Amino acid sequence: MTERTVVKIGSSSLTSDEGGINRERIRFFSDELASLHRMGQQVLLVTSGAVAAGFKSIGYAARPKLLHEKQAAAAVGQALLMQAYQEAFSAHGIGVAQILLTRADFSNRSRIGNAQKTIEELLRQRMIPIINENDTVATDELKFGDNDTLSSLVGNLLKADRLLILTDTDGVYMEDPRKNPNAARIERVDQISEEIMRIAGGSGSSVGTGGMRSKIEAARIAMRGGVPAFIGRVKDSGDLMAAAQGTGKGTYFAANLHTLPVKKQWLGFHSATQGRIVVDEGAESALTERGKSLLPAGIRAIDGEFHPGDVVEVVNLAQRTIGRGVVNYTSWQVQAAMGLGTDEVKRRIDVARIEVIHRDEWITLK
Would you say 105 is a known binding-site residue? no
**Vertex 31, ends 239 and 47: CA angle to 5°?**
85
Distance between CA atoms of residues 61 and 47, nearest Å = 23
Angle of the 67-90 helix axis to the 50-58 helix axis, nearest 10: 110
Phi, psi of 206 (to 5 degrees): -115, 5
What are the angstrom distances between the C-alpha of 235 and each of 166, 178, 245, 280, 346? Answer: 10, 18, 16, 50, 64
Is there a binding annotation on residue 360?
no
Contact in structure between 326 and 311 (CB atoms under 8 Å): yes
Is 4 within any annotated ligand binding site?
no
CA 170, distance to chain mean position in Å, is 20
* CA distance linking residue 29 with residue 85, whole number of Å: 9
- Any known ligand binding at 8? yes
210 annotated ligand binder: yes
Q: Is 293 annotated as a binding residue?
A: no
| Phi then psi dihedrals of residue 251, to 5 deg | -110, 135
Q: How far apart are CA 102 and CA 100, in angstroms?
A: 7
CB 153 within 8 A of CB 221: yes
Residue type, 190: D
Q: Is 342 labelled as part of a ligand binding site?
A: no
Where would I find the beta strands (DSSP E) of 256-298?
273-279
For residue 252, the tally of other CB atoms under 10 A from its CB is 23
Q: How far apart are the C-alpha atoms of 280 and 340, rounded to whole Å?
A: 13
Residue 147 assigned to a binding site:
yes
Say if residue 366 carries a ligand binding annotation: no
212 among annotated binding-site residues:
yes
β-strands 299-303, 311-315 pairing: unpaired
Torsion region of 5: left, alpha or beta (phi above 0 gives left; psi -120 to 50 gives alpha):
beta
Element (H, E) at 31: helix 23-38
Spatial separation of the C-alpha atoms in residues 229 and 234, rounded to whole Å: 14
The reply, when asked if residue 167 is annotated as ligand binding, is yes
Question: Could you tell me which of 22, 132, 26, 19 has the C-alpha nearest to residue 78?
Answer: 132
Binding residues: 8, 48, 135, 147, 167-168, 209-215
Binding residues for substrate: 48, 135, 147
Binding residues for ATP: 8, 167-168, 209-215
